[in-house]
């Protein structure tokens, strides 16, 4: 609980500081949603920073585990942020990016996928273990980073998935010794979950979004937490499940499945603003700026031309 509180406080402080002085200006970090309202990507770097700080300081974690969590999370955040800011969104998913690469086009998404793969390998090597474990763990870190990002298509969805997955991991990874339970996995997931929950109100309120930087970082840290707390059979099964879901995302819309399933739709809408234009009373708008597409997971956003001075905000398509 102390680690989660530290992560939440650090994430909020980082978000406040970044919002007051956005690197490169507010416009660089601003996107336009389906309501014609601006949302900021600054929640992503704030989540990554808060989670990394908490993982570095959480008591009871071995040094190797701390290093693996921080390396995996910050590496995924860096490459995800690159795709957020430099990506055009013309290519999406593994098929789009690898297809472009086959024709000699290096997309920002392809750079991100390769970079997150390397970050996952570094995190797995830092965690240590036999070669077979390093391979499985690298896949867990990189695969989880990509999978969670695929859920970041509606307000709050990726954070809800992260909280659900992290909570299950904390229960599954608990160890019993001498009749006492040692929450090793709980310590590992406390940082990313505390940081994510701190950003949930802004995400649900459509004032901010995780973007690739935030979603990739959270996913990578949860994957690393699974790598250092589960047995090999459980890790192999989890990696198979992540691989299967990622492959399915190339042909099946997760949003469509959620919309068709009443229980999932209820959970997805929980805490979100009702449909229709306008911002809830009392909610401050994000800094205005030109609409730009945010990486390949921003499938619901479209590119919007920069506003001319004095013009009204331009409207994009569907919310993050």
Looking at residues 276-298, what average pLDDT do you find? Answer: 41
pLDDT of residue 110: 81
CA distance 15 to 12: 5
The tens digit of pLDDT for each residue in 257-275 reads 999 999 999 999 999 988 6
Asked if pLDDT for residue 117 goes beyond 90, the answer is yes
Looking at residues 289-302, what average pLDDT do you find? Answer: 38
* Percentage with pLDDT > 70 across the chain: 76
| Alpha-helical regions (H) of the chain | 2-20, 43-57, 63-86, 93-102, 108-127, 131-150, 157-172, 184-204, 211-229, 232-249, 254-260, 262-269
Q: Please state the three-class secondary structure of 274-297 as a single string.
A: CCCCCCCCCCCCCCCCCCCCCCCC
The tens digit of pLDDT for each residue in 54-104 reads 999 988 889 999 999 999 999 999 999 998 898 765 556 555 555 655 656
pLDDT of residue 301: 41
- Residue 112, burial from CB neighbour count under 10 angstroms (0-12, 13-18, 19+): buried
Neighbour-count burial for 191-209, b at 16+ CB within 10 Å, e otherwise: bbbbbbbbbbebbbbbbbb
The tens digit of pLDDT for each residue in 141-164 reads 999 999 999 999 889 999 999 999
Residue of 146, 127, 116, 138 lying closest to 235 (CA atoms): 138
Looking at residues 283-307, what average pLDDT do you find? Answer: 38
pLDDT of residue 284: 44
Length of the chain equals 320
Mean of all residue pLDDT scores within the chain: 81
The tens digit of pLDDT for each residue in 212-259 reads 999 999 999 999 999 999 999 999 999 999 999 999 988 899 989 999
Sequence-distant (6+) residues with CB within 8 A of 67 are 126
Asked if pLDDT for residue 173 goes beyond 80, the answer is no
Asked if pLDDT for residue 23 goes beyond 70, the answer is yes
Which structure tokens are listed for 9? 């406080």
Asked if pLDDT for residue 37 goes beyond 90, the answer is no
């Amino acid at each position: 609980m102390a680690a989660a509180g530290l992560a939440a406080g650090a994430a909020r402080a980082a978000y406040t500081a970044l919002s007051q002085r956005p690197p490169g200006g507010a416009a660089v970090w601003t996107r336009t949603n389906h309501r014609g309202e601006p949302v900021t990507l600054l929640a992503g770097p704030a989540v990554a920073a808060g989670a990394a700080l908490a993982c570095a300081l959480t008591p009871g974690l071995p040094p190797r585990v701390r290093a693996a969590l921080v390396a995996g999370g910050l590496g995924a955040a860096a490459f995800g942020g690159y795709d957020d800011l430099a990506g055009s969104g013309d290519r999406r998913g593994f098929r789009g990016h690898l297809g472009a690469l086959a024709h000699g086009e290096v997309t920002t998404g392809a750079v991100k996928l390769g970079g997150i793969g390397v970050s996952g390998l570094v995190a797995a090597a830092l965690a240590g273990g036999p070669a077979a474990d390093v391979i499985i763990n690298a896949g867990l870190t990189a695969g989880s980073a990509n999978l969670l990002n695929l859920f970041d298509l509606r307000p709050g969805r990726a954070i809800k998935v992260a909280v659900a997955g992290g909570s299950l991991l904390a229960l599954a990874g608990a160890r019993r010794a001498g009749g006492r339970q040692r929450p090793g996995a709980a310590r590992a997931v406390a940082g990313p979950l505390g940081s994510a929950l701190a950003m949930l109100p802004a995400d649900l309120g459509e004032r901010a979004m995780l973007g690739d930087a935030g979603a990739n970082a959270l996913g990578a840290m949860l994957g690393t937490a699974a790598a250092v707390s589960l047995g090999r059979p459980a890790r192999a099964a989890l990696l198979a499940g992540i691989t299967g879901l990622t492959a399915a995302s190339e042909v099946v819309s997760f949003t469509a499945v959620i919309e068709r399933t009443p229980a999932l739709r209820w959970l997805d809408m929980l805490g979100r603003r009702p449909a229709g234009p306008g911002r809830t009373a009392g909610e401050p708008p994000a800094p205005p700026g030109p609409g730009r597409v945010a990486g390949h997971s921003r499938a619901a956003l479209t590119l919007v031309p920069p506003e001319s001075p004095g013009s009204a905000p331009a409207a994009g398509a569907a919310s993050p």
